[in-house]
Amino acid sequence: MKALLSVVVGGAVLALSACSHSPSTKPLLPYPFQALGAEPGWSIVVNANLEANVVLDTGATQFPAVFNLTEVADGSMVLSSTYQNQPLTLSISPGNCSDTMSDTVYDYQTVLEVQGQRLQGCGRPAL
């Protein structure tokens, strides 16, 4: 009887562990993700490895960057890197955002901080 009880209890433990909730692997953003803004025109396309193509000054400045995820809270995230030995930070928050140039509505609000500038923008899955 003891042997049967330990098999039943052991099986129950295995069954429960198989049903346990595993951490979500759902990405925080739809990748590739594009953050963009106007006046001055800028754009960043980030892939799932947090590698990005950065375009500033309406295309006059372009460079690759690799970001680190430095903060996540309430669905918002902050990506950090460097450009010319200075901080490069992209903040992304869920929420409606409107592009003043085209009146397009996006699902994310973004802020790019680069070279002492704070640039407001919007975000979406990259096309």
pLDDT of residue 71: 85
pLDDT band at 53 (very low <50, low <70, confident <90, very high): very high
Among candidates 89, 65, 87, which has minimal Cα distance to 77?
89
Give pLDDT tens digits for 2-18: 444 343 334 443 333 33
β partners of residue 53: 45, 64
Write the CB contacts of 13 (distance below 8 Å, at least 6 apart in sequence).
Answer: none
Asked whether 90 and 44 are in contact (CB, 8 A), the reply is yes
pLDDT of residue 27: 60
Give pLDDT tens digits for 87-101: 999 999 999 999 777
Q: Is the pLDDT of residue 82 over 80?
A: yes
Which is more confident, 14 or 34? 34
Write the CB contacts of 107 (distance below 8 Å, at least 6 apart in sequence).
Answer: 94, 95, 96, 97, 123, 124
pLDDT of residue 112: 97
